Structure 1
Amino acid sequence: MTAYTVHELVVPATMDDDPGTVQAFREWLAVSDAAEVAVHGLRELVWVPDEYLPMCHEPGAPSRLFAVRDETGATVAAGSYDTKQEPGTSNCWLAVGVAPEHLRRGVGTLLADHLEGIARAEGRTQCKTYAVSRQVGSASGPGYVQAPTGFGAVPEDEAGVRFLTGRGWRFGQVNRISRLPLPTDHSVVRELHDRASAAAGPDYAVHAWTGRTPDEWLEGIALLETRMSTDAPSGDMDEPEDVWTPERLRAHEDELARAPRTMLTVAVEHVPSGILAGFTQVAVPDDPARAAMQWDTLVLREHRGHRLGWLLKVVGIETIERDHPGHPSIITFNAEENRPMLDVNEAVGFVGVGSEGIWEHRPA
């Protein structure tokens, strides 16, 4: 019987680091990607090492990466453990991916036991994980596990669903994965822009930039990032407030700037107060053959009802097509219960291509 062992990786500082360390990271990422593509089939979601590595060095919350290797030294599973280092942190995020040809050999169980053991040893009382799914669109009835939100479901026969259910994890929410082919129908986007601008009225002004946040908006973006943890849909799963300061935001931006991509930020200002009422960010790879990825999008609760989400979305699309032409698509993830954002996605031309379940576990 094949012997499998868990190894914690030394995360390289850069892709020019020690060759052995970099190669181990490349192998880890290849297995992680392969495990997800085997489920949803979306090659556009495969990461490039240079793009992924900076996210492993998130200030105050660096990723710990783990590989399961067989007796030949080959990497057959990839896992990660993410949590803030700040004292009193109660939650963490785990990920387990097994190479398709090594499923049902106890590899996933070995890795999950290891990661959950770390969470218990560090006193984490809440673990979450994302599990990608082939499911596209809504579903119900026999053969599906329904989200407690009432929106979305995942097939109960998927390996990840069976694995998490068997380990006592609780299904909490569904994110829809949507794809917008580029170029868009410019007349449709322009009409939506005009309608959203009219609904917002003169009290709201749009600002856009690439790279580091201008000093004048630094506190505003830090507040919006903080409110992502409290205002964004999270189903019925508790989400501790994740406080962002201007200093943390700057360190975060400096790390992300090392990746071969441009971060586009579109924000909307409430002019009477000078407060940023919402924002969206899109990561645009330097390679035009790769898809742009929509990151955080939020409109503060107290400013909803003015079509600001629509305005942010269409300005982002227009900016990408004008300043970064040639990309095949934009990919976005949205909670199935977030109907206002799904409405604008569908109106612009986004099409559902898959989903992911968000699961929760509270270690004993």
Structure 2
Amino acid sequence: MTSFTVEELTIPDAIGDDDASDFIETIEVRNSIEAASYGTSELTMTAAETLPYWLDREHAPRRLFGVRIDGRIVGRAYYERNVADDDRVAWSTVEVLPDQRRRGIGTALADTVEQLARSDSRQRLLVYVVSPDGPGERLTAATGFGTVPLANPEVRFLLSRGFTLEQIERGSRLALPLDGERLRDWVAEASERAGDDYAVHSWVGRVPERWRDDMATLFTRMSTDAPSAGLAEPEDPWTAQRVSDDDDRHEANPRTLLTAVVEHVPSGRLVGYTSLSVPPEVDRAVSQEDTLVLREHRGHRLGMLLKVANLDILQRERPGHPSVITFNAEENRHMLQVNEDVGFTPIGYEGAWRKSLS
């Protein structure tokens, strides 16, 4: 068996720093595995685009681990937790290049993050893992929506370690460009359905100061209102200051964030939002980030209104990209229907797995 050790790697403050090379290499590992699993390179992220998500050390600290073979990083794992006193959840990912598997590397990395979660007094460990399609018997998620191939190696690995498949996330792709006239018709139809009580606003980049408190509420509710099956995802509280700090970190991100929000006019409060993350290279796919409508304001086609309004902004302000990629829980039938109505088609599935550490 090949000899190796698991080592903790440095998370740099900036991609140009002298200590950034290991981090950059782990992102290349991630991109190789995503491309092999989904059969497309459209999910590729650069290290510069990824780093801002790693730098929120105050609210969501992460640790990064790697394994080298002949000086090359061939596997990585990360560990993340929230800092709330009553939070007993941790998240992790373990990834090993296909040609380096079955050498014990994945097991060693998984042991490392699990031991870390136990030492942090975590009660649940959550992981999201892509499962390419395959033949044979299927394993159904606890929600009853979606399956993964039971014979897949990642499925057997997680089951052997005591994980339960709680949820399936569908990855979907929208080919661009959309017909501009049809898109504007969708916006008009959704606006008419929403009625005069709701108004759409949008911005590029930072959250305007007047909306920071409302966006903090929406970001917090995203952690509790989105379908999470038996994962029991904890509340992730946001404040206006955290929103501003997050914008500060993302100013180094070469991607542009396009955000559309919907205001409940009688109250003057924001009740829904959606964001698109746009890479600088026009030949790369756009990422659909979170979309949320508060529970108490659902039933007015606001999700559809937000999606098509922001797609219209994308095509007017940042035209030329080949596609938009999005992810949704399989049981979130309403949002999946919105996506399908617009033209999204499935490209793959990943399982959301839970392990009890108590």
TM-score, with normalisation over the residues of structure 2? 0.96
Report the more deviating stretch, 223-232 or 82-91. Answer: 82-91
Alignment of 1:89-108 (within 5 A): 89-108=87-106
Partner of 2:38: 40
Partner of 2:242: 248
Distance between the aligned counterparts of 2:139 and 2:23, measured in 1?
34
Report the CA distance between 1:122 and its aligned residue: 0.7
Q: Residue deviations 1:249-294, cap 9 Å, x none?
A: 1111111221101111100000001111100011111111211101
- Contact kept in structure 2, 1:188 and 1:348, CA below 8 Å: no
- Contact kept in structure 1, 2:136 and 2:151, CA below 8 Å: no
What SS does the aligned partner of 1:242 have? coil
Distance between the aligned counterparts of 2:186 and 2:160, measured in 1?
46
Report the more deviating stretch, 163-172 or 230-239. Answer: 230-239
- Contact kept in structure 2, 1:82 and 1:93, CA below 8 Å: yes
Partner of 1:278: 272
Q: Residue deviations 1:94-116, cap 9 Å, x none?
A: 00000110111111000000000
Report the CA distance between 1:186 and its aligned residue: 2.4
Q: Residue deviations 1:287-340, cap 9 Å, x none?
A: 112111011110000000000000000011000000001111111101111111
Report the CA distance between 1:37 and its aligned residue: 2.2
Report the CA distance between 1:29 and its aligned residue: 1.2
Distance between the aligned counterparts of 2:310 and 2:61, measured in 1?
29
Report the CA distance between 1:161 and its aligned residue: 1.1
Report the CA distance between 1:190 and its aligned residue: 2.3
- Contact kept in structure 1, 2:82 and 2:236, CA below 8 Å: no
Alignment of 1:261-340 (within 5 A): 261-340=255-334
Q: Residue deviations 1:58-85, cap 9 Å, x none?
A: 2422321110123x22211011011123
> Equivalent of 1:219, from 213, 220, 231?
213
Which letter maps to 1:206? V
Partner of 2:201: 207
What SS does the aligned partner of 2:66 have? strand
- Contact kept in structure 1, 2:136 and 2:149, CA below 8 Å: no
Distance between the aligned counterparts of 1:346 and 1:44, measured in 2?
19
**Fraction of identical pairs, as percent:** 47
Provide structure 1 residue ranges, at least 5 long, that are not aligned to the other structure. Answer: none
CA RMSD of aligned residues (A): 1.5
Partner of 2:81: 83
Provide structure 2 residue ranges, at least 5 long, that are not aligned to the other structure. Answer: none
Report the CA distance between 1:86 and its aligned residue: 3.9
Report whether the alignment pairs 1:350 with 2:344.
yes
Report the CA distance between 1:89 and its aligned residue: 2.6
- Contact kept in structure 2, 1:144 and 1:153, CA below 8 Å: yes
Report the CA distance between 1:142 and its aligned residue: 5.8
- Contact kept in structure 1, 2:2 and 2:103, CA below 8 Å: no
Distance between the aligned counterparts of 2:163 and 2:250, measured in 1?
32
- Contact kept in structure 2, 1:11 and 1:65, CA below 8 Å: yes
Q: Residue deviations 1:4-37, cap 9 Å, x none?
A: 110111111111101xx22211211111222232
Which letter maps to 1:177? G
Partner of 1:69: 68
What SS does the aligned partner of 1:179 have? strand
Report the CA distance between 1:135 and its aligned residue: 4.0
Report whether the alignment pairs 1:359 with 2:357.
no
What SS does the aligned partner of 1:191 have? helix
Q: Runs of at least 4 residues of structure 1 off by over 6 A?
A: none
Report the CA distance between 1:53 and its aligned residue: 1.1
Q: Residue deviations 1:201-254, cap 9 Å, x none?
A: 000000000111111111111000000111111112212111111111111111
Partner of 2:27: 29
Q: Residue deviations 1:154-193, cap 9 Å, x none?
A: 1112221111111110101011101111101223322221
Partner of 2:3: 3
Which letter maps to 1:57? L
